[in-house]
Amino acid sequence: MNPTQPTQFWTEADSSSSCDVLVIGSGAGGAPTAALLAEAGFDVIVVEEGKWVEQGSVAPFSLEQMDQQYRSGGVTVALGLPSIAYTEGRCAGGGTEVNSGLYRRPPGEVIERWRDRWQINELDPDSLLSIATEVEQAIHVTPLPGPASKPSELLRRGAESLGWQFDESPRWMKYPNNDVRQGQRQSMTRTYLPRAAQSGARILTNCRVNKLHMKNTSATSAEVTLGTGKTARISFKYVFVCGGAIQTPAILQRSGLHKNIGNSLAVHPTVKLAARFSEAINIPDDVPVHQVKEFAPDLSFGGSASHAGLMALALLDQWSQFGSAIEQWRNMAIYYAAITSVGRGRVISVPGLKDPIVTYRLTRRDRELLRSGLSRLSLLMLEAGATEVFPSFRDAPIVRGRNDLTQLQNSFNAMKASVMSVHLCSTVAMGENRALCGADSFGKIHDTHNVYVNDASLLPDAPGVNPQASVMAIAIRNIRHFISHEKRNV
């Protein structure tokens, strides 16, 4: 068997299957969960709503990738004032297949805050960071073996000019012959999912979980819809819901579990701009590795994918004034300002609707951070040598010098901006604080016997950095605890 391919074990004649452990979702939480369980001798089935898409078969950050590997073609929205666009991976490997691959360890002070406020037992920063070291080896976290791209170097140049702190984020990549252009993402379909399959896990793609069937405080089976449209049932002794911060609470709610489920969504809202330079600098299929952390954890700056289609979207809010700039898109790149929001959102599963309704409320403090963030980001681009900066909000001015920054600040309103996020978490917070937490200190849903969560939903709040390292470290911590305590019952 080729371990990079899913095991297709279901036939059209089947109406049911069974296992020790059902893992729902195959991303940064689900894939390590499945691998460690299978390696410990559990009979594991992994179900993934999306399909298996081989790396390299679609261009990174392209419209084709959005169609094949994102939910709803990459266009989903949390309703609010303003609404916040967000993205969800919907494929084998989840978000690890489609994101930029930038890696950030969970900050020690964040782990301590989570432990103390949410009363998470045995959450030790040193132990979690030790697991992070293990993850980094498994997914080959490494800095670039050569020079960064031009958009990344421009970000570094601007920060150096202003005396702002910056660094290079390592990535989970392998670089054959140390060639930056040949980078191979070490996502879940290249790492933990093959490990799971090699140890006997059965992986079923194009399989949507409709709900869990509950008997008293235990789940007994999952009702699923296969890619053919056929409805079937999977029985299990334990279930780990790892569908991400939106789909996990939706599945639990559809199954009748509601206590502190889906009412505490946390995200990193971002605003963006397009910067034009006097030379060709655009790299359509990659993102900058440098990030500016001068104002962290409240505010950070980085670069986004910048192919022509995304560039047009960045200019769209003020198209009447900015639209003509698209002709020089090869001289342009997109950059973002991300904030650590104190606002919160909700995920609400509504009977009759396939996907949940998602809402989010920015606080006044969040709105002001977005304003100052976009202004500081514009200054950063000017110092990097940009000839023109095009902020992404309605009625925005073209920024050509420092004198234009006051007009930008005065005209900015979060209601007029294209606010988005790619970091979603905290919808089933873990811990023993029953007023805040939907799951216990190791991910088991409170007042259930065999229903676990093991993905970004468990993070008590937004960590201020890319959360996938935190997700993977906590998932491995939790699953090892489960194995040590539960294997004797199988």
Q: What is the predicted pLDDT for the residue at 378?
A: 98
Query: Residues 246, 424: contact at Cβ < 8 Å?
Result: yes
Q: What is the rounded distance in angstroms from the CA atom of residue 68 to the CA atom of residue 74?
A: 10
Q: What is the predicted pLDDT for the residue at 3?
A: 44
Could you tell me the two tokens for 418? 């294209």
Q: What is the predicted pLDDT for the residue at 12?
A: 47
Per-residue pLDDT of the chain (490 residues; tens, 9 = 90+): 344 555 555 544 456 799 999 999 999 999 999 999 999 999 999 999 999 998 878 877 777 887 888 888 877 899 999 999 998 989 999 999 988 889 999 899 999 999 999 999 999 999 999 999 999 999 999 999 999 999 999 999 999 999 999 999 999 999 998 988 888 999 999 999 999 999 999 999 999 999 999 999 999 999 999 988 999 999 999 999 999 999 999 999 999 999 999 999 999 999 999 999 999 999 988 899 999 999 999 999 999 999 898 999 999 999 999 999 999 999 999 999 999 999 999 999 999 899 999 999 999 999 999 999 999 999 999 999 999 999 999 999 999 999 999 999 999 999 999 999 989 999 999 999 999 999 999 999 999 999 999 999 999 999 999 999 999 999 999 999 999 987 655 4
Stated length of the chain: 490
Q: What is the predicted pLDDT for the residue at 372?
A: 97
Query: Residues 407, 397: contact at Cβ < 8 Å?
Result: yes
Closest CA to 232 of 240, 241, 221: 221
Global confidence as pTM: 0.94
Neighbours of 176 (CB within 10 A): 9
- Hey, what domains does the chain have and what are their CATH numbers? 16-52+91-139+187-261+424-489 (3.50.50.60), 143-183+269-421 (3.30.410)
Could you tell me the two tokens for 56? 């390299």
156-174 in b/e form (b: 16+ CB < 10 A) is bbbbeebebebeebbbbbe
Identified catalytic residue from 258, 423, 481, 485? 423
Alpha carbons within 13 angstroms on the beta-carbon side of residue 126 total 0
Closest CA to 49 of 421, 256, 355, 346: 355
Beta-bridge partner residues of 339: 299
Whether residue 423 lies in the annotated active site: yes
Label each residue of the chain as H, E or C: CCCCCCCCCCCCCCCEEECCEEEECCCCCHHHHHHHHHHCCCCEEEECCCECCCCCCCCCCCHHHHHHHEHHHHCEEEECCCCEEECCECECCHHHHCCCCECCCCCHHHHHHHHHHCCCCCCCHHHHHHHHHHHHHHCCEECCCCCCCHHHHHHHHHHHHHCCCEEECCEEEECHHHCHHHCEECCCCCCHHHHHHHCCCEEECCEEEEEEEEECCEEEEEEEEECCCCEEEEECCEEEECCHHHHHHHHHHHCCCCCCCCCCEEECCEEEEEEECCCCCCCCCCCCCEEECCCCCCEEEEECCCCHHHHHHHHHHHHHHHHHHHHHHHHEEEEEEEECCCCEEEEECCCCCCCCEEEEECCHHHHHHHHHHHHHHHHHHHHHCCCEEEECECCCCCECCHHHHHHHHHHCCHHHECCEECCEECCCCECCCCCCCCECCCCEECCCCCEEECCHHHCCCCCCCCCHHHHHHHHHHHHHHHHHHHHHHC
CA 96 to each of CA 7, 69, 466: distance values in angstroms, whole numbers, following the listed order: 20, 11, 12
Q: What is the rounded distance in angstroms from the CA atom of residue 438 to the CA atom of residue 460?
A: 10
